[in-house]
Structure 1
Amino acid sequence: MYSREDLIKKIVDEKGLQAIPNLIELLDDDDYEVRELARDALSVMAPEGKEYLLQEFKRRFNLNFQDDTVLLYLAELLSDLKCHEIVENLKMMFNKFSDERAFPLIIENLLKITKDESYLDILKTYIDSDEWEIEEISVMAITELPNRKTLDILLEKYYKTSNNSLKVLILDSITKILSKNFDLVPYLQERDPEISEKLQWHLKRS
């Protein structure tokens, strides 16, 4: 029985870039595990297959399908590569989705590519949503820009929410931010010694 990592390696080694079209089709599979496996395999191939992924993203974007989850997957893969060619498309993607859970994902991709702080304000509105899934997605998305403003937003939400699961997720996100930008460690220590102390063991392990 192959592990997930072994399956991805097998696909990459045996098929190479020729597997990309079939893997993109699997991004629309009914089985979540299949979709995630395809996404992970594509992420390995993405640097070499960027042009094909970009062309497919543009093609699907122009088809104007509603709620096209494959388009979201492709946007994620390309934003991981800091593909500036999709920025304008991302800005126009909101009206292609009726499910609001897609919105913070689109903002996350814009944040990855542009590092524009103005997107933090938009994500903050989603973090303050009444819907748990949107809050969760947004708390994870905002870590793409590890700065003081991001930290302030997460700390504010930590004390505002009564949802313990969300509190745990926020602490995980703060840990991720600190691991990306160690200059924020003294800022957190000064701003919130209690949270800083809670997270010390996380930082020692990272």
Structure 2
Amino acid sequence: MSKLIGYARVSTRQQSTDRQEVDILASGVRRDDLYVDQGVSGARASRPQFDRALNALQDGDTLVITTLDRLGRSTQNMLAFAGELRTRGAGLRVLNLGGGDVDTSTPMGSMLFTIMAALGQMEHDIKRERVVDSITKRRQAGKDLGGRPRLVTDSQVRNAQRLVDAGETASAVARDLGMSRATFYRRSRALNLAGD
């Protein structure tokens, strides 16, 4: 008897698979047949729960995912995955494509899957290009790129350096500033070079 096997994935631990899980369970997948990878990049070849989902697939079963990018990032990886589905006699259902099954064992299904994989990789590459372009433009404009705000001011580092020069240990001074000794030395050295 064929069954539905669900797979959900998020790339970071801060993200949630809740929405994916709700959609996959609503499509008819049983909770026991749902495999979830938390904090695992789609670029990784080995994903523990994905591997378990593949091992659970048998002839006639269907793998259910919410979006194609949950499977992987590159067209090459996705084509290898399509080959894996074919050898298992399993199908694929991508919910954001209207929930239709893509039978990768047929020439039409294989072609459709290849096109979807290529479009998924193109979408990923375009997003990455936009991010890089945005960062470059912000840098050129001298704008803040975000990141962690500098909590210790240059003035505080200079004062701390004076304490070290007066005999305090660098470890104690750095600890009082809330930074590592290496960071204190790096900041102090940068200020000395800038002052020259």
More helix by share: 1
Q: Which is richer in strand? A: 2
Higher relative contact order (CA 8 A, sep 6+): 2
Q: Answer whether TM exceeds 0.5 for this pair.
A: no
Could you state the TM-score of these two structures normalised by the residue count of structure 1?
0.28
